[in-house]
Amino acid sequence: MKILKKLFPLLLCRRPDVTDLVLENLALRQQLAVLQRSVKRPRLRRRDRAFWVLLSRVWANWRSALTIVKPDTVVRWHRKGFKLYGRWKSRKRGPGRPPVSPEIRELIRPMAEADPLWGAPHIHGELLRLGIDISERTVSNLMPKRDPRPPSPTWITFLRNHRDTMASVDFFTVVTVTFGILYVFIVLSHGRRELLQFNVTAHPSAEWTARQTVQAFPWDTAPRYLLRDRDCIHGEAFRRRVRQLGVREVLIARESPWQSPFVERLIGSKRRECLDHVIVLGEDHLRRILTEYLDYYHHDRTHYSLEEDTPFHRPIEPRPSDAAGLVALPRLGGPHPRYGWKEAA
């Protein structure tokens, strides 16, 4: 009825061409009304959508003629088309970064599964020692992510400037099978992370500590600075012997072990990688365990701060042939192997 009311004045016109146009328009609109009642959702093809998108760009009154869909739908089609166009413009046109070969992936996976305490820098160092040129970021992407704890920027600047002229000393305790307490004293050089001296005792004293420190620096090899905590074991006898060596003591703040990061990291590594997996029987047993770990630490264990090298330089072992396979050489009873190449039999 609404359509008839709008078109009735035009039907009274006596011009045949106008009357035919009105009747044709009436017929088309009546059929469209029937389709809208019977078809809930018309099926539109891509060319139909493209037609209305182009029409909306060239005709200002396109909204008044649109009935099968809402005008917002046409706008959404236009936005979707723009996304497809942007995706086509940004498509890959060149070879890009070469993918990691499945063979290298197979080398990283067993390392990460066999050594859960190793991070990406440690495994990256092992791969570099094996002659495999790969970035640390690639290794990290193939391993579980861990949130690193950044060191203090103030102290890291100080330690970087004085690393080659500094050493650290500290104690840590180990409980024996009979619940006795043994004290381990260590002296660490910051330059190459070399463990210069360690010893075990059940009754530490200032004189004993001073004697161990002197033995760590023979023939005028004493550093310029010695970093330590404020433990009372470093008594007057210890301080006097250190001054005689021409060494200046640097004391960290109370209850701030993070200010001596190198030696604390070494103690943590010893516990996680060695002492947490054994039961110590006594002084001799602990000394033997730490001696084995010292050999592993100096010759096998790579360090991030040493550009994935070991304190005692570990030469690179390139793969001798394509037939050579990766083998794990047991260290410390097996928990922390050293990897190498072995020709297939």
Confidence of residue 22 (pLDDT cuts 50, 70, 90): low
Confidence of residue 19 (pLDDT cuts 50, 70, 90): low
Mean pLDDT (the chain) is 81
Note the pLDDT of residue 156.
65
Which of 285, 260, 262, 129 is CA-nearest to residue 200? 285
Average pLDDT in the 22-31 region?
65
Note the pLDDT of residue 9.
58
pLDDT at 228 over 70: yes
Give Cα 33 to chain centroid, integer Å. Answer: 63
Which of 275, 295, 284 is CA-nearest to residue 172? 275
Confidence of residue 40 (pLDDT cuts 50, 70, 90): low
pLDDT at 99 over 90: no
Rounded alpha-carbon distances, angstroms, from residue 68 to 38, 41, 71, 125, 203: 12, 8, 9, 66, 93
Cα 267-271-277 angle, rounded to 5 deg: 165
Note the pLDDT of residue 345.
62
Backbone angles phi, psi at 138, to 5 degrees: -65, -40
pLDDT at 13 over 60: no
Structure tokens at 247: 């060494």
Q: Look at 68 and 307; give whichever has higher pLDDT.
A: 307
pLDDT at 335 over 80: no
pLDDT digits 0-9 by tens, 168-209: 999 999 999 999 999 999 999 988 889 999 999 999 999 999
Structure tokens at 124: 């990256």
Query: pLDDT exceeding 70 applies to what percent of the chain?
Result: 77
Beta-carbon contacts of 225 under 8 Å, excluding residues fewer than 6 positions away, are: 162, 165, 166, 167, 247, 248, 249, 250
The residues with which 168 forms a beta bridge, in sequence order, are 188, 227
Average pLDDT in the 103-119 region?
78
Note the pLDDT of residue 266.
92
**Its pTM surpasses 0.75:** no
Note the pLDDT of residue 118.
80
Which of 9, 7, 12 is CA-nearest to residue 26? 7
Highest mean pLDDT among 34-43, 194-203, 305-314: 194-203
Structure tokens at 195: 């463990």
